[in-house]
Every structure is written in C-alpha cells, then in structure tokens.
Amino acid sequence: MNSQEGPLADTPQLGSRGIYVADVEQSLPYGIFDADHHLYAPDDAVTRYLSADMVERAWLPGEPRMLTEEEHDEDEEVDHERRTLGVHSAPEGGFGGVDLSQVSGMAGNIPIPGAMLNKLNPMKDLDQLSREQLVERYNAMRPAFERKDPRLSLMDLQNVEVAVLHTVGTGWESAFGRGDIEAGYAVNRAYNDWLWEDWGYAHEGRILVPVPIPLLDVDLAVAELKRSLERGAKFVDLQPGPAWNGRSPFDPYFDPFWNLVNESNTRVAVHLGGTYARHGGEWGEKPDARYVEFNGFQWVAYWGDRPIMDTLTAMFYHGMFGRFPNIKVLIAEFGTVWLPYLLRKLDHAMLLGRKPKWGSLPGRPSSVFKERCVIAPFPEEDIKRGIETVGIDSLVFGSDFPHSEGVPDPMQYVSLLKGLDDLSIRKIMRDNLVRFMG
C-alpha cells in the first residue's frame, strides 16, 4: 500500500510492470524463457492467402471460419470475443473471489490475461477502480497480442527474453473431415504464410513459433516442413491425438517427415488443443463440437489428460523415440497431474515385456522422458508433484500469456516456486529451456 494521505491513501500501489501490487510483484536478475505464450490471429489470417475458389472448398456455407480480407475490411469492429478468447463460464463467486460481472468492460466475456486465475488473479488485491483501470491497460496492450514488434516491446517490459508462441485452430478441420486433402493443406499453407508474415518463425531469435503441419499426406507434410525450415523454423507443432488419416502420427508411413525433423534438430511442441473431440461420436457426443460448446464430459475427455497421454504413449510404443534419437519434445499446457501415473504405466508395460508396434524402446520410458522431454506445469499447479516425478531438469515454466487462464505477468510465476533454491528457480525459469533448445 502507498503511504500518501488523502482519498487515495488506500489505493494499492502497483509494481513496476503495472499488473500486480508492488508488495507481491516478483523479479529476477536475468531474462526468463517462457515455454507457453500465445498470439491472437486476425479474422483473415487464413483467407488472406487463399483463392476464392479454395475458400469455397475449405468451408461449407454456415461453417465457422475466418473472414476473407474483403469481409474483414467491411467489418473492422469484429466482435472481440471471436478475436480473442471466446465465452467462458465463471464459477459462483468468481475467480479468486473477483465477480467479473461487476468489472466495467468485461461484459460477460473474460478477455484479459489472468482473469480466470485464483491464487494469481491480478484483480484480487485491487479495489474496484483499480480493477477497471487494469482492464483498460490490457486493452491498450492488444497490439502486442497480435503483432511481433509490439510483442517484443512488451516482452522487454516483462523481462521475457525468449517466448515460445503457440497457435491453436488453423481451420483445416472442415476440409479434412470431408476428405478434401488438397483444400486442407491449402488452408495449412495459407495459415503458415500469415504466421510468417505477421510473426516470423524465429523473430529476432526471441519469438519462436511452432509451425503447425497436419499429418495426413506424407508428401504434402514433408513439403510444408521443408518450406518452414527454409524460413527458419525452430519448432514444429504436433497436434495431440491420432493423425488425420486414422494412422498413428508415428506410423512408419510418416517416417520421411520425422526423418527430416530428426536430421534438422527441429524441436517438437505438443500443445493443448486440436480436434480430439472428433472421437466423441463413439459416445453419442457431437464429433465436430468446438471448445465453447463442450459439456462436462467433452471437456474432461477431450481437452486435457487423455489427448496427451495417448500421444506420449504412442511416442514410446509406436517407436518415435526409438527410431529418431535427436527428436526432443516440449509438452505445454497439459499440466502434470497425469504424468506420475502415465510414466509408471509406460514403465510397467516394458517390465511386462510389452514391445513397441514399430522399432524398439531406447530405454526405460521414465528415464527416456527425462532425457528427451520438457514439460510445463499449469500455472497455480503444485510444482512439487512434477519435481518428484521427473526432477527439476525436465520442468520449464509456461505462463500461458495472454490467455485468461494464464499468468498476466509471466515473471509472477516465481511466486509459485517458494522453497526452491536459486539454482532450481533459474533452471525452471530459464536454463532448462535454453538447454532443450540446444
């Protein structure tokens, strides 16, 4: 609290970055490496590079899609909900005890970073006026959520030296679902062209964007990977779950793709998202449901542990780690609640003599995981669970900034590491991701 007299005497004094109260704001004497940042795509991100006839092929009338450049120009004031986070429900009493409906500018949506947190909610220690001013500050930050140069300036303020920026939902699902492979990959190329234009794949060596490439046709996937590597890509994005053609992503059919990843020392990023809900038809659920439509069953089954558990199991028992010794994997925004169970299960399968479908295991799965993978615990998750399971060296921090369930000031993640020594904190906040990147 500040010490001034008068009507503002009880107004909380904000820290140097203007997000958290000064008394609790965190700092470190070195730049941090954040494994889980996000960008927001404009409504014409895909269609900007698609021909009119391909737009017609990619989406049927009435299907959700991004706007064409002409449509975007006609409606510049596109609903903020579509451009950012969509609609989220709030629990009774709000997040962290903050009733968002009483905060001016929220209007039923949750558009600002940290609004869905509890322990690290930036509005928790603020009065009503300060909360509304915080919303205004975040709205002013919006260019940094959408373009690379404003983002670099914001990263400088936040002391974020390097950020891995993940993207979710690229628009190819509709075409692939109808079996139009050509249109699906055209959408993928168009989206990646937008990523390259507006963000770059490794801008200034500080903004690293995993390039999404769907696995369905191996030749088209390899061609897009080659094009991405020529543009300087350091990461390739792998959607959790099976490949689009009903194969495992690690079926030998895709070996030309993984050979190129392996030989180029490109890192693999697996991030929450994708179209795992398409398996819901087996349970009588809508197979093309979007995240905002999920009921409780769909959210539990298709937006969390099961997708990453299936995918990581396939990496071991469909032979990726055994066949490709240089491939290393970043696992982001899945948390670690599932990790102790899965590693025990993977080890147990080996001890029972269960073999990979293709190739061989390069060692005990729990040990190989520590050598080849890094994982980001959820914000507000008890990090001790991850340390007990895989040790300090396999953990990296991911803020999920600027999502509403993410840490609104990435440095504040340090407050979750109380009790750890300085070296361990530095490993999580910086050095482990540095080492992973090589």
* Pair 138, 112: CB distance under 8 Å: yes
Any idea which of 149-158, 285-294, 392-401 has the lowest mean pLDDT? 285-294
* Pair 74, 97: CB distance under 8 Å: no
Q: Is the pTM of this model over 0.85?
A: yes
What local confidence, expressed as pLDDT, does residue 88 receive? 67
Greatest alpha-carbon span in the chain: 74
3-state secondary structure of 38: strand
DSSP string, 108-120: TS--STTTT-STT
What local confidence, expressed as pLDDT, does residue 347 receive? 98
Does the pLDDT at position 54 exceed 80? Answer: yes
Euclidean distance between CA atoms 191 and 210, whole angstroms: 13
Any idea which of 118-122, 233-237, 272-276 has the lowest mean pLDDT? 272-276
Does the pLDDT at position 199 exceed 60? Answer: yes
Q: Using CB atoms within 10 A of its CB, is residue 241 exposed (0-12), middle (13-18) or buried (19+)?
A: buried
Domain over 32-47+144-437 is classified CATH 3.40.50.2300? no
Residue of higher predicted confidence among 111 and 241 = 241
3-state secondary structure of 278: helix
Burial 175-192 (b: 16+ CB within 10 A, else e): bbbeebbebbbbbbbbbb
What are the domain boundaries of the chain? 32-47+144-437
* Percent of the chain residues topping a pLDDT of 90: 63
Residue 211 Cα distances to 127, 238, 268, 319, angstroms:
41, 9, 9, 23
What local confidence, expressed as pLDDT, does residue 8 receive? 45
Does the pLDDT at position 156 exceed 60? Answer: yes
Query: Which run of H or E residues covers position 182?
Result: helix 181-198
What local confidence, expressed as pLDDT, does residue 11 receive? 64
- Average pLDDT rounded to a whole number, residues 327-331: 98
